[in-house]
Amino acid sequence: MMGMLGHKLIGLPAPVGMLFLAVLLKLANVVSPRLQEGSQMVYKFFRTAVTYPILFAVGVAITPWQELVNAFTLTNLLVIVSTVSALVATGFLVGKKIGMHPIDVAIVSCCQSGQGGTGDVAILTAGNRMSLMPFAQIATRIGGAINVSLGLLFLSHYLA
């Protein structure tokens, strides 16, 4: 409700407004520990009981199956394998170099090659690392934006 109110008053999208409000309440330390524990339990419930059926239903309903089958060409498969391999290897080596768990860093890095949040869930589930979801979301959004920006900058320099 507060998100909708923020949308009506200042035009901020409701989910973004709710995110800002939640962060401000957490930083101001006005959320009781009991409420924090309750919200964590709700998150765990949705993570385990609701995420997979929704992913399956949405995936089956909106997947253009014929286009998917037609996309399996040797060139596309080579691009996919090289992209994922480069992301995983880079994440593993950088994670090892800076003293983090290299497998976790490699899995989070791999999330940049997925299909946004849905891809993050699929990759983290396959690696049994759903606890890394906040890091995967950041890697997907910020890392993806950086990669696209650098790619466009590179292409504009060499194609212009």
Q: What percent of the chain is modeled with pLDDT above 90?
A: 25
Residue 150 maps to a domain: yes
Once rounded to an integer, what is the mean pLDDT over residues 3-15? 81
Angstrom distances, CA of residue 18 to CA of 4, 26, 47, 99, 142:
9, 12, 20, 35, 20
Residue 115 maps to a domain: yes
Residue 158 maps to a domain: yes
Q: How many separate domains does the chain show? A: 1
Residue 131 maps to a domain: yes
Once rounded to an integer, what is the mean pLDDT over residues 148-160? 80
Query: Residue 88 — φ and ψ, nearest 5°?
Result: -65, -45
Which residues 6+ apart lie within 8 Å of 16 measured at CB?
3
Residue 1 maps to a domain: no
Residues 96-153 pLDDT 10s: 999 999 999 999 998 888 877 878 888 998 899 988 988 888 888 887 778 778 888 8
Task: Answer yes or no: is pLDDT of 4 > 80.
Answer: yes
Residue 95 maps to a domain: yes
Q: Which structural domain, as residue segments, surrounds residue 123? A: 66-160
Residues 12-59 pLDDT 10s: 788 778 878 888 888 898 989 999 899 889 988 988 888 888 878 888
> What pLDDT is stored for residue 160 in this prediction?
65
Residue 135 maps to a domain: yes
Residue 79 maps to a domain: yes
> What pLDDT is stored for residue 117 in this prediction?
80
